[in-house]
Amino acid sequence: MLYLIKNADVYAPSHLGMRDLLIAQGKIVAIDKKIDLPASLATTIDAAGKKVTPGLIDQHIHITGAGGKDGFLSMTPEIKAQELIACGTTTAVGLLGTDGTARNIRALYGKVCALRQEGLSAYMYSGYYGSDTVTITESIQSDMVFVAPVLGFKIAISDIRSSYPTAIELVRKLREVRVGGLLSNKKGIMHVHLGDLPTQMDVLFELVQQYQFPIAHISPTHVGRSKSLFDQAIAFAKLGGSIDITTGASKYTDPYLSVLYALDQGAPLAKMTFSTDGHAGLTKTDAQGNAIGFKKAPINENLLQIQQLIRQGGLPAELALQLVTTGPAANLGITNKGHIAVGVDADLCWFDQDWNLCDVFANGEPVMREQKILLQPAFD
């Protein structure tokens, strides 16, 4: 389908102003102040001055569910494509959590493929919390080479549920992900869950400073779990590392406030990202802090925190948007996502003047119009 979008106030995420966009075969093929085509050639949609941004990227989300720390009943359900669309997420990176036994890496791959069939973009990490990395093939390296959606692997440190991996163990795994990336033309990253133990990010600094491993391949997440951990993460970002702030869980303060604090401390915005940890299993508590049940981490907090950054934090939209567009795209090494330019995938979010989400395009097709989801579920 050929679409001509007229009168869009484009944030690429840099602010381009009023532009027309031409979309063909899922790609943006032209951007200009004025594009005119015969009505018979393209479906014309008037954006009517709405703010048009890249589709949002969530680089850490439990698309097959997670949880289970309080028994099988506490395992969270998988995520539906419609839920992602509703909060503007057009690219999701799925992963396993604590559980690499009841949750299966091949089932995760299947869910990635299902989301792709539904028109979204989906990727995944091999591995889980443990150092006995679960893979689809026989190794991290071959997963990188032979399984197209695999961008790297996940592991946990500084957590009582981790395997307490040493620097030399991590270096050997990093070698696999880096060589696998070279062979498959992927960036390759080690995505690192950070727990709340006092060791914090110490082993990651050891990898960079003692073993001199390129920092670009190390991707720590949950860095906003505590103030002291976040201060260490700021130092990591100043060395050139990407730091991922969780919006749906594991946070000592509102994530948008963490961003403003990091900027005040001199951390580069280009090295900060948001991800939700959506559908992680959380404990529901009463007013006295007593456990009363289970809940799942929300998947819409990336959108809400960006809105907070713009509305309450006063950060210009073209900067705030980087946390869920160009930032994660650069960290993941997916160059066809996270920005609006000729030749990239036509993943788009449309906002009104108050930054409320109205419309979503995924891979060049409208999947939400005027806050109504167009994609029908595979099962009722």
Helix (H) or strand (E) holding 10: strand 2-11
DSSP code at position 80 = P
DSSP code at position 353 = T
Q: Compute the C-alpha angle 271/276/281, nearest 5°.
A: 140
**Residue holding tokens 């567009």?**
325
Measure the CA–CA gap between 91 and 118, rounded to whole angstroms: 12
Which pairing describes strands 121-127 and 150-157: parallel, antiparallel, or unpaired?
Answer: parallel
Task: Indicate which residue of 20, 277, 345, 359 is catalytic.
Answer: 277
248 Cβ contact partners less than 8 Å away, ≥ 6 residues apart: 276, 277, 278, 280, 297, 298, 299, 301
Which pairing describes strands 27-32 and 15-24: parallel, antiparallel, or unpaired?
Answer: antiparallel
How many Cα neighbours within 13 Å face the side chain of 222? Answer: 23
**Residue holding tokens 């700021």?**
234
Whether the bond between 13 and the residue before it is cis, its omega within 30 degrees of 0, is yes
- Single-letter amino acid code for the residue at 365: E
245's tokens? 């702030």
DSSP code at position 102 = S
Helix (H, G, I), strand (E, B) or coil at 124: strand
Q: Compute the C-alpha angle 323/270/247, nearest 5°.
A: 30
The packing angle between helices 167-184 and 202-209, to 10°, is 60
- Single-letter amino acid code for the residue at 85: I
Active site residue 277: yes
Measure the CA–CA gap between 304 and 340, rounded to whole angstroms: 21
Measure the CA–CA gap between 328 and 244, rounded to whole angstroms: 9
**Residue holding tokens 């110490």?**
202
Q: Compute the C-alpha angle 177/160/131, nearest 5°.
A: 25
Which residues are designated catalytic? 277
